[in-house]
Amino acid sequence: MSGQAKTIVSIEDLEVSFSTDAGAIKAVNRVSLSVAAGEVLAIVGESGSGKTVTAKSILGLLPETATARGTIILSNREGGGASGAGNSHSNDVLSLSKKQLRGIRGSDVSMVFQEPSTALNPVYTVGWQIAEGLRAHGKYTRAEAKAKAIDILGRVGIPDPETRVNYYPHQFSGGQKQRVVIAQALVLDPGLIVADEPTTALDVTVQAEILDLLRRCRDEFGTAIVLITHNMGVVADLADRVAVMYQGEVVEQADAVTLFSDPQNDYTKKLLASVPHIGQGALQTVERASARAADWQNAAPVVVASGLRIEYPGRLGRGGFVAVDGVDFEIRAGEVLGLVGESGSGKTTIGRAIGGLTRVTGGSLKVLDHEMNGIRERVFKKVRSDIGFVFQDPASSFNPLLTIADCVAEPLVVHGRAGNPREARARVDELLEAVQLPKSYGDRYPHELSGGQRQRASLARAIALEPALLIADEPTSALDVSVQARVLELFAELQREFGFAALFISHDLAVVDLLADRIAVLYKGKLVEEGTGSEVLGSPKHPYTQRLLASLPVPDPIEQASRREALRALRADEARAAGTS
């Protein structure tokens, strides 16, 4: 960045404490940061490091229980202070009233939230929601506001914006919803955008498009961006500078190239070492194979799919939607099959069908010697105890009114292995210790555990009945890299110890490479490639697998820059091929 670039936000000695029944808890301690116009500052660190609290402080979005000290000087886009704050060219956010804060939000600083589905109101069109920000900050006629909404939707890459401005959020895909949220943030041309985990819930191909869009926001609009993320590949792809936070403090700051090539702080080194890389899985695959019996490949497979077809029926006379179309694969006892593909590829549908939660409409799917096509629930009920599930978000899969011990005991009680949770407590304590949680955590409620601890408890519940087959659907996508590394190690240890077969569903190719014996790639309901990690990821044959691999950001800014150019060339080739066909 040029030394002449205007500073958009300057944070000096920020301290944030939260009042609790047990006393004040300091979440941010003497943090000092600055961001210049057209610069991307990434703030990284694990959950609880204070990165999101720091980001929300810039917008004055801290809850009533928070006390903030220090200064946050935010440049004013119009060259004047907030309403009633004089004619200064900047404002100290921490000293502004609620009314003045409403004046700077959207116009001087905007936020892009992690989950666009919750950031958008489902009962209003996206055009109305974008126009709402315009109406709050100026006098626009309905026609003028709609015209600006159409313009900004087009600029963030929403196709046919004149029509889609009248669509509701549910009519957009996840990546398009994130584009709409970015359009909301950009419509008033703020000097600063705070992006809190903007790509966490997205597939790698969609993530690459959103990162390109944020890069364009920086280059075309001159917008400064504060990026909050735990994905070090995203940091390498987008950030100019990086600030590493640990336990409320900034422990290291550097430009992106220097931080990745020569980290100074021990915590930064540990964080970078936790990032899974493609190619790491080959050694683990050999180790897993050597630990198995010599004739394991001759044993009957636990799952066999042959010409598997799953179609969701249409409504109001419309045709059905084919989610899975003629898929063949096997999972042997003790083997991990990684299933990858973008949203809508059919991978979760296959997982649900194996668990008896989605009806098979064509072909054959045998699970533990039971044909799922046409199976009756009373027949399959006996098999359910042999199948374990690990869900993507343990926070929503646990009953918040039950303790962790009661949640883990639930399968034991449901399947008659224990009369009630109290009887199952000894077994629950064993399970908690197996997933490296103190047994005293059984008396806590889900909200009292961190994300990684909840996911460990979710693993304990999944293995409670010692299943022959475990289905893990994106179990680490919402976790920090350091927490994810521990959960992945734990998953591998449990798989070795209990010997269950596993279907591991993910959009993170490096994670799948680390855990899976074989990888199957799904694209629009079809299986386009299957093989070992070195075969599928080392020399992909199908164009979609090549694009998937090229879209995965790697934690190295220099390598990532060349990969980004390769991805652009690949997309251009695909566009030319589509144009000539």
- From the list 405, 391, 493, the residue with the least C-alpha distance to 449 is 405
- The predicted pLDDT at position 77 comes to 67
Environment class of 34 (CB within 10 Å of its CB; exposed 0-12, middle 13-18, buried 19+): middle
Identify the pLDDT of residue 84.
42
Which amino acid is located at 203 in the chain? Answer: D
Distinct helix (H) and strand (E) counts, the chain = 23, 20
Closest to 322 measured CA to CA, from 338, 333, 311, 308: 311
Closest residue by Cα to residue 340 from 227, 19, 412, 329: 329
Clarify whether residues 287 and 396 are in a common domain: yes
Last residue of a domain, one of 151, 168, 189: 189
| Residue 276, number of CB atoms within 10 A of its CB | 22
Tokens 């959207």 — which residue? 106
How far does CA 246 lie from the centroid of its chain?
21
pLDDT recorded at residue 80: 44
Residue 89 lies in a domain: no
Looking at the structure, do residues 400 and 539 belong to the same domain, yes or no? yes
Print the domain residue range for 183. 110-189
Look at residue 244 and give its three-state secondary structure.
Answer: strand
Q: What are the Cα distances from residue 72, in Å, to 12, 56, 78, 131, 171?
A: 6, 11, 18, 28, 39
| Per-residue pLDDT tens over the stretch 446-504 | 888 877 788 889 999 999 999 999 999 888 876 777 778 888 888 888 888 888 999 99
Residue 522 lies in a domain: yes
Is the residue at 87 inside a domain?
no
Rounded-to-integer distance, Cα 21 and Cα 206, Å = 43
d(CA 510, CA 277): 5
Q: What pLDDT score does 201 carry?
A: 67
Q: Which of 164, 189, 214 represents a domain boundary (last residue)?
A: 189
Q: Is 194 contained in some domain?
A: no
Domain annotation covers residue 269: no
Amino acid present at 503:
L
Co-location of 510 and 402 in the same domain: yes
Q: Quick one: pLDDT at residue 290?
A: 64
Burial 155-187 (b: 16+ CB within 10 A, else e): bbbbeebeebbebebeebebbbbbbbbbbbbbb
pLDDT computed for residue 282 by the predictor:
62
Residue 25 maps to a domain: no
Rg (CA), the chain: 25
| 10-residue averages of pLDDT along the chain (581 residues) | 73 90 85 93 87 91 90 76 52 90 88 83 93 85 92 89 92 85 88 87 80 87 89 90 94 94 93 80 64 70 94 79 92 91 86 92 93 90 89 82 94 90 92 89 87 86 92 81 81 86 88 89 92 88 88 87 84 76 59
Residue-level pLDDT at 209: 85
Residue 439 lies in a domain: yes
Residue-wise pLDDT tens digits, 258-289: 999 999 999 999 888 888 877 766 666 666 66
Asked whether residue 353 is domain-assigned, the answer is yes
Q: Are 425 and 534 within one domain?
A: yes
The total domain count for the chain is 2
Do residues 153 and 285 both lie within one domain? no
* Residues 395 and 286 both lie in one domain: yes
393 and 516, same domain (yes or no)? yes
Q: Rounded CA gap, 46 and 480, in Å?
A: 5
The predicted structure's pLDDT at residue 83: 43
Residues 6+ apart with CB under 8 A from 513: 276, 278, 279, 280, 281, 338, 519, 533, 537
Of the three residues 147, 165, 189, the one that is the final residue of a domain is 189
| CATH number for the domain harbouring residue 398 | 3.40.50.300
Output the pLDDT for position 87: 41
Which amino acid does the sequence have at 243? A
Among residues 67, 91, 66, which one has the least CA distance to residue 77?
91
At CA 367, angle to CA 363 and CA 371, rounded to 5?
45
